[in-house]
Structure 1
């Protein structure tokens, strides 16, 4: 039952048979009530899942506001009792304030949650929906998870030098160090990937129902759990896309994508639609980001301008000695390199003990000047 400690979405609970048994038949063989009351944030998520599950059992209508209110009151009373035993009075006062606010908007929240459930169960075929949690549970490499809850993209540098520009409301799981003959990561949401070349160790991105295989290239994957389509767009290099082995009744044939080509996987119909000219697809055109359209080919360009381009592409802040580098100009190609490799090439080209340090979205370059 330890897997439930990783439940972060409503559908995780809804897919758990022991949770269904507890809610629908009041049979708590796995200690759900005790586990729920251990944590306030967990209790709220469990209560939302409970309401959705009950709503799914109502054929003609949603739960009434009185039923929602009574259910919430019962749960909050149990939580308050547990907190009183711990003599945590400050949390209880906050809890009471939250209780009345939540009960007032519970009906509206329930409608939204039920809509998500309806999408999962009516628009998407249950047998073929692959969740992020299912993907990472199949991996035994000791994954690190990075979640972007901010309002702007975050840069992630992997152990092989590859970089991922992770968009808001997205998460990525990856091993601290890639071992074996493959490099595997798991995406929920949207990320732009720049993969370090290693023909002997292909790179795989698992996202919803598809798997993207690359050796060294740059591409974008958009795979949110509540959207109907999964998109893969290639900027440089070549990728191969196929359906995940967890998906039933699909063709396992790989689809090859070249630069400026894309693929849209329709999750309901399990259909791959290849797009050979992305400029003719309004949805793709409207979603293009700076990193996908800025050029990284530089001919006799000031270093400051090159670094500014990198800032715009990756949405990072670069601090460097302007006075020492004001007369430095470079000619270089950085189009098919991860961010870390781009910075290494720039520093090596400048010379004179030029180095960089990267901490999240902050980059500091030190230098004595150019050669």
Structure 2
């Protein structure tokens, strides 16, 4: 009996030892608390400065004056005195037409004038004599009246002859084709020796003014009040023309807003406007399509950031502001935005904001700045952020 009791105790102890061993083997291990992983980001400082606002549109370059040079009398083209592409001034002789028949008609008209003038002189002398003879009734009153009528008739003939001379002189002037405008000669359509007619539609060539030029462009009708304000401003509104995408393209010229059309295009809801450009460098060419950029306003002491800094939430915009090695979500209001910058309020000048890497961030997330923009150094940005939060 005593031996049996010892066996039970031994078995119980063995079971207890096995249970304790099993518990040590299967017990949950204590997990170590690891530090949160820092999110790599890029940052930039908020800049406070005066920022101009712009509006852009597509425009077409137009010549202020473009004339197709056509003959005004029929005749053979005897000389061409200019070359294609040559710059000419108003009044410069461009070409001549055979003038021999017109000169002959002019000489004939002059001869007729001389003949009529001689007849008039004789008739006027006779009229004076007849007037004296009527005093003592040496001739009848009828003879005197007939002589007076003859004088009047000859005066009319003289005036007609003079008019013929004037007409011939005008026709003669048309045989010398002069430039009606200052500009550049276009491609020639005829050669010397061709017979020109007034009815020819093509003309000899065109002369197009290159400097200055205008640019016609269209903007949404919502811009009409702004355009009116720009026209009424003391100084003309500046307009820049670019080849390519806005300010990123090649600047072709700087001009001034000069005209707003008198009605809105009902089909497109746009308003046409014009700007005039000095074009001494001839970078703007008639018919060319350009991008027009107009300064509409200036925001004084505006807070400027790159567009990628501002994030869009469900019902508002926000930014991630750096505080030490963490970020906080700050709601902001977007005042103006274009492809190069965004103006906001809700932050302070020189605040350090995240400019890249926002997709992995949340409020209070740890960050590691891997690259800072050239606005400030990373150390200065971090010091400024830490100092502002203390």
Which interval holds the TM-score relative to the shorter structure? Answer: under 0.3
Flag the structure with more relative contact order, 1 or 2, with Cα contacts below 8 A and sequence separation at least 6. Answer: 2
If each structure's strand is expressed as a fraction of its own residues, which one has the higher value? 2
If each structure's helix is expressed as a fraction of its own residues, which one has the higher value? 1
Please give the TM-score of this superposition, normalised by the length of structure 2. Answer: 0.22
Please give the TM-score of this superposition, normalised by the length of structure 1. Answer: 0.23
